Amino acid sequence: MMKEIKEKLVSLKGEGLFREIKNIEKLEGKYIWMEGKKYLDFSSSNYIGFRDDVRIIEAAKDALEKYGMGSGASRVVVGTANLYKELEELIALEKRKEASLIFNSGYDANLGIISTIVGKNDVVFCDKLNHASIYDGIALSGAKMMRFRHNDMKDLENKLKMFRKGYKRALIVVDSVFSMDGDKADLKEMVRLKGKYDVTLMIDEAHGGGVLGENGLGLAEELDILEQIDINMGTFSKAYGSQGAYVAASKEVIDYLVNHCRSLIYTTSMPPVVVAASLEAMKLTKNEKERRKHLKYLGDHLRAKLKEAEIETLESSTQIVPVVVGDNEETLGLSIFLKDHGIMAPAIRKPTVTTPRIRISLSSNHSEEDIDFLVETVLEYTHRKRSKKDKVMKWVKNVLNKTNVHGKKNEKNK
């Protein structure tokens, strides 16, 4: 086994796909310190700057003094502090659901929820670009998975027509905002389809929560369909600047999860200090309209500047903006070039995505000048790349002009 592992690692390095976890020395606002250097950070999901908001930090400090650090055990074993219940009641109220439940992470939530509510006699309709945790939850459930083309509602309906009747229960599950492309799901059409075909609809608001909607409650709020979403899941680890996840649904669904969801039952619950931070962030979010407005402006401004330069950003319409410049090698080259110029922005490559890109994650901490600097640096890289390519092509043409197709010199060059 170790030989095969070693060979796979060598192969990854040879293909330029080997990952390493880098050491972060400090995080502050829009900056990140690594390797003794300060970088403008476009790699974080700190969308509205809550990660180092003093109000959230103070709430966490208070909880630390009152409850200590660890929670001690699983909630179903040791019980739960009022802090947890307060957060769950607030989530249920804002998401317009009867009840809610918090999890240790978004991965834990998707894995546990999906594998609990569907099984081997059921079917799940899954967007091709859904997060890996959704795919893993479906695999663990044993349900039949039907993938539909990304955001293609005709394809989804065709699959519903063909396969829905053959299964006991059916679930449509989708990211509200797709983490790599930055586009939005067609939730309104999914609401129509779930009613037509008797399907439960579950959404993952990880990248929509705190960002979209009048009160920052996500894409479902922005579209005014909160009540029509059956299972509303999201995370605290992105815009809310904390950690963990939640699910809001009917009381029956929540009670069922408490009694059957393995990723909830068989794990120690989140520390109270983290729950306190998430609770304060949820309370504050509705009043941060200016931060959300500024974040939207930055995304629109970045896409407009890149479009003007004829650089592809796919179907992005949010704070996540993919910058497409070429293949794996060219994308990695841009990431390194950006880093050399004081910008931290990750290269996302095959096989993680089919189209390699630099994934830009914007924050309300960024300024318009930051965006302009980013674009200028990207354009400098593409200009150098094109200039180098032009020089190579010029050399090739020069060689071809001197030699015919049989490798013989042209008479005029004798």
Mean pLDDT computed over every residue of the chain: 92
Q: What is the reported pLDDT for 91?
A: 98
In this prediction, residues 354-374 reach a mean pLDDT of 97
pLDDT band at 414 (very low <50, low <70, confident <90, very high): very low
pTM: 0.90
Rounded to whole angstroms, how far apart are CA atoms 336 and 399?
32
Instruction: Check whether 413 has a pLDDT greater than 50.
Output: no
Sketch out the chain's domains with CATH numbers: 24-48+288-385 (3.90.1150.10), 53-285 (3.40.640.10)
Predicted confidence (pLDDT) per residue in 212-251, tens digit: 999 999 999 999 999 999 999 999 999 999 999 999 999 9
**Percent of the chain at pLDDT exceeding 90:** 82
Predicted confidence (pLDDT) per residue in 262-315, tens digit: 999 999 999 999 999 999 999 999 999 999 999 999 999 999 999 999 999 999
